[in-house]
Each structure stands twice: as C-alpha cells, then as structure tokens.
Amino acid sequence: MAHSVSVKIPKLNKTIEVPTGLFINNEFVPSVDSQERIETVNPATEEVICSIVAASEKDIDIAVAAARQAFKTTWGKNVTGWERARLLNKLADLIERDAQELAELEALNNGKPVKMARDFDIGDSVQCLRYYAGWADKITGQSIEVDNKSKLAFTRHDPIGVCGQIIPWNYPINMWAWKVAPALAVGCTIVMKPSELTPLTALKLSELAKEAGFPPGVINTVPSLGPVGGAALASHHDVDKVAFTGSTVTGRKIMEAAAKSNLKKVSLELGGKSPHLVFESADLEQAASWAALGICYNSGQDCTAGSRVYVQDTVYDKFTSILVDRVKALVVGDGLEEATGAGPVVSKGQYDRVWGYIDSGKAEGAHVLVGGEKRQSKGYYVDPTVFTNITSDMKIVKEEIFGPVLSVGVFKTEEEAIALANDTTYGLGAGLHSNDANQCMRVSSALEAGTVWVNQYNILNNNVPFGGKKQSGIGRELGSYALEEYTSVKAIHWNFGDKLDWPLY
C-alpha cells in the first residue's frame, strides 16, 4: 500500500513526493488502531500542504519494540564502530545529494528561506553527521590501575539502548541531525517524534536512512501529537533515554514522566531569554549586526535568540539607531522567493502567541521603536519588532516570545549589566560586545549561560558543545560531550589473582 503523496509547489514549478506513513522497521505503515491524521500547513499561504498519519500510543509501542529488536540483534553491540561510521557517512552523502529538494520541502513546511535551509540548515546537518561518523570508531573507555598482580579494571562505554527523541519545528532537519548523529554513532537505536507542525522532512530523511543501508528498526519516525507520542515516549518502560528539544513547559512534563516511569535518562534543550551586552568599547556597527542576527535569524524562532539587548548608556543612542537600520534591512517574505531573508512564523498558534506578546508590550508601556504592526495579507508574518523603555517585570522582558521581538534596555556599569543579564530563570545563550579583553574575560566568566559569544552571536560549530544552564536544559549537544548523553559506563573488575577467604573474620 503506497504511503506517499505528491506535493505540488506551483511557485517553483515542482512536485515533491512525500511519504505519509509512520516509518517503522524501514517501512512506511499506517497506524494500527487510529484514523487520526496530521495536517501540515504552509505558513506563507496558510494553505494545507498534505496530511500524514498520526501515531497512536500503540504505534509508539510497536516502534519501540522494533528499536529494541534492532538494538539486540543488528545494532548496539552487534555492529562495529567502522560500520556505524560508514553508514552515517553514507547518509550524509545522500542528504547532500538531495539537498535542494529537502530545502524546498523545509521552506514549504517551516517558512524559512530555501537558500538558508539548503546552505545553513542542511549544510550544517551534513557536517554534523560526518562529524559524528568520525567519532563512531573512537569510543574509548579507560583501563585503570588497581593492582597489577590481581586485577584488571576497565570501563566500557556502552550505548544506552533505545532512545526516544523529540524534536521541535524551528530547525526540523538540523535538530534531526543533532539528535540522530551522536545516538547512532555510539550504537543506540532511535524512535524519533518530529514536531507535528513540521514532520515532512523527517519522513523524507527516513527514506534516505533506509537507502543508506541502516538495518530495519535502527531509526523509526513516528509523527504524532505531543501529548500522544511525546508523552508515550517519555513514560515508556522500554525506552532507556529521552532527549527533548522544545519549550521549558514541555521539558518539565518529559522529566516528570521519566521519573514516574522507569527513571530513564533525560536530556533537555529548552528555552531561553538570552541577553546581549553592548559595552562602550564595542565596535557598534558589528555589535548591531550581531544583535540583528540574534533576533531576526529564523524569524526569532531560535532557542538562543538574543531577545534582550542591554546597551551601555554612553553608546545607547548611537547603537540603537544603527540597530534600527539593520532590522529594517531584512526582507521578510515567502521562503520560496529568492529575495527573502526571513519567513513567516511557523503556525497560527505561534502567530497568535507572538502577537499576544507584542500587544502586552504595548499595554505594559514599552515603546515600539520598529515594527509592531500586523500585515493585512495572508501568511503568519511578524515583522521584526523592537521595544525600548523596558522594565524587568514586563512580560516581553521575562518570558520567551519565540518570534522576532526584541527588548532593548540600558545600563551604566559592568556589574549592572551582568546582573540584568543573569536576572532570568533561563541560561541558554548570551553575547557580549567589547574591545576590552579583560572585560571580555570577566563578563564571559560571570554570565550564567551554557554558551557565551564574545563579539559574535548565534554561530555554532559542530565540535563545540551546546546546552543550557538553569532552566534552559540538562546535558549538552554537539562536540564530544554529546556522546556522553548516549553512553552508559560499565566498570569491569576482572579478578585474575585474588582469592577470597570466607568468612572474613
């Protein structure tokens, strides 16, 4: 039974075949007990793209069983690091081959510009897969000296087992790669629940996983509603680890479910309200560019979005005027159009949410410097909006908006800047702009964030770890650190010379 649909993209004069079933054991299948479908929408036009099968709790059970079977027989300790490396590299090759089509599908479903999806999202994803392919044959434990006459002690870094992975809608392909690559590199099997808003590229990538040669059951893809699939994975007794990227609200639920079920391992990459600090010695032109990137990139739908900027009073006026120019230079439009630098926000739900915050900003007395006006045409557009005259207790300053809405504040001293920056329950990213090296060191040391950018913002590298402090998360992705999230350490004490006298006394 065919489980795919032809998605027409009139704007590009193209058709893309999209699988619509659940991907379990290398096959696309219908739900075993549910008729539920998920409708995917193009946020630029508000039109339905297609509908796909929505997994039920029973489907999740089947997917987990498939992953477990693969882990016991064809994956886990049954496959060498070399083979895992080979397959990951092959998958990277295939994604590279199909980059244009994947980028177009991503743009259609998520709204981001095609060229950004292709060059950044997919480019980074391919590199991420290759980076972790390079780790697959380098998983080492330690041999530890205990007593040379009688014991050999060593550690094994074993794969944890079946991993439930729940990814968000802001960077569907890139978040897929960040989760899939390290888990597979160390030998885990996966049940992946992509976001119900943007499941299409995950399904296409599943086709490539099969083509690359991964054995059935190693990767399973089960789009479903969060409260169904996400909850099922977090509370499943046969899932050994859950990795989640998304909102802090949902992150708490995942951790609670893990605690109440089988105490599965949990890693969370959650929200942020990341601050920029612009000191008087900063190159203001550059700082303004980075600040604009920080809030406008991906239409502000980024966990590390630099959504608060605090500027030293001596350069406040100059900086904000440059910032306004930068923000106004961005072309916001349909992702399928060549000139677009940023697309609409992903859905009606997000659209309403972000506009709700903009309204609250106005209501609570902040001043709109740029933006703040709804478009009259179709599409979930939010033009970049900058608020000034903010106070710390305003909702727009405290809560994560997840759209292109920036709050700009002012400070006098370094101490004040640090205090303002750290005054949040979040701790994901932070940026500081200064040409005083000692200040850079002091401030980067003081900022309570998992990633601190000095004279930069939002640029990540696959080999540098990423994650949150405080309520922004638990655990790290990227770099060698991600491997720890998917390995379970076993210590082996091998006695070859000790005899036991019993009873002891």
Partner 1 sequence: MPSTFAYEWNTPTYKGKTSFNTGLFINGQFVDGSNNTTIEVVNPTTGKVITSVSEGVEKDIDIAVEAAQKAFDTVWGLNASGSVRSELLWKLSTVMEEHHDELSAIEALDNGKTFGWAQSTDVAFATKVIKYFAGWADKISGQTIETDERKLTYTRHEPIGVVGQIIPWNFPLLMLSWKIGPALATGNTIVLKPSEFTPLTAIKMCELINKAGFPPGVVNIVTGYGHTVGAAISSHMKIDKVAFTGSTLVGRKIMEAAAKSNLKNVTLELGGKSPNIIFNDADMEKAVDWTTHGIFWNHGQACCAGSRIFVQAGIYDEFLKRFTEKAKAIKVGDPFGAGVDQGPQVSQIQYDRIMGYIESGKTEGATCHTGGSRVGTEGYFIEPTIFTNVKPDMKIVQEEIFGPVGVVIKFEDEADVLRQANDTTYGLAAAVFSQDINRALSTAHKLQAGTAWVNCANQLHANVPFGGFKQSGIGRELGEYALHNYTNVKAVHVNLGHTL
- Between CA 328 and CA 117 the distance in angstroms is 22
Q: Which is nearer to partner 1, 59 or 124 (CB)?
A: 124
Q: Which residues pair with 326 in a beta bridge?
A: none
Amino acid type, 108? L
Residues sharing a CB contact under 8 Å with residue 94, sequence separation 6 or more, in sequence order: 208, 211, 212
Q: How far is the CB of 496 from partner 1 (least distance, A)?
A: 4
Closest alpha carbon to 410 in 334, 317, 286, 291:
317
> Which stretch of DSSP H or E encloses residue 312?
strand 306-312
Q: How far is the CB of 162 from partner 1 (least distance, A)?
A: 26
Q: How far is the CB of 136 from partner 1 (least distance, A)?
A: 8
Q: Which is nearer to partner 1, 249 or 441 (CB)?
A: 441
**Reduced DSSP (H G I as helix, E B as strand, rest coil) percent helix, strand, coil of the chain, to 5:** 40, 25, 35
Q: Which is nearer to partner 1, 127 or 455 (CB)?
A: 127
Relative to beta strand 306-312, strand 189-193 is: unpaired
Q: Which is nearer to partner 1, 318 or 442 (CB)?
A: 442
- Between CA 260 and CA 37 the distance in angstroms is 29
| 23 DSSP 8-state letter | E
Q: How many CB atoms lie within 10 A of CB 174?
A: 21
Q: Which residues pair with 295 in a beta bridge?
A: none
Q: How far is the CB of 457 from partner 1 (least distance, A)?
A: 20
- Between CA 219 and CA 184 the distance in angstroms is 9
> Which one of the listed residues 106, 207, 269, 400 is annotated catalytic?
269
- Between CA 229 and CA 429 the distance in angstroms is 29
| 269 catalytically annotated | yes
User: CA end-to-end span of the chain, whole Å?
Assistant: 72
Q: How far is the CB of 74 from partner 1 (least distance, A)?
A: 21
Q: Which is nearer to partner 1, 256 or 415 (CB)?
A: 415
427, 469 Cβ separation under 8 angstroms: yes
Q: Which is nearer to partner 1, 35 or 140 (CB)?
A: 140
Q: How far is the CB of 150 from partner 1 (least distance, A)?
A: 9
- Between CA 407 and CA 230 the distance in angstroms is 33
Q: How far is the CB of 156 from partner 1 (least distance, A)?
A: 15
Report the sign of the C-alpha dihedral through residues 55, 57, 58, 59, in that order.
Answer: positive
Residues sharing a CB contact under 8 Å with residue 317, sequence separation 6 or more, in sequence order: none
473, 467 Cβ separation under 8 angstroms: yes
Q: How far is the CB of 137 from partner 1 (least distance, A)?
A: 5
Q: 211 vs 88, 215, 309, 348, 439, CA distance in Å?
A: 12, 10, 46, 35, 52
485, 182 Cβ separation under 8 angstroms: yes
* Residue for token pair 């790669």: 177
* Residue for token pair 């700082």: 287
Q: Which is nearer to partner 1, 12 or 454 (CB)?
A: 454
Q: Is 200 helix (H, G, I), strand (E, B) or coil?
A: helix
- Between CA 348 and CA 17 the distance in angstroms is 25
Report the sign of the C-alpha dihedral through residues 239, 240, 246, 249, in that order.
Answer: positive
- Between CA 262 and CA 259 the distance in angstroms is 7
Q: How far is the CB of 415 from partner 1 (least distance, A)?
A: 16
Q: Which is nearer to partner 1, 134 or 341 (CB)?
A: 134
Cα 7 versus chain centre, distance: 26
Question: By the criterion CB under 8 A, which residues form the site for partner 1?
Answer: 81-82, 85, 89, 127, 130-131, 133-138, 140, 148, 152, 438, 441-442, 445, 462-463, 480, 494, 496-497
Q: Which is nearer to partner 1, 360 or 444 (CB)?
A: 444
Report the catalytic residues: 269
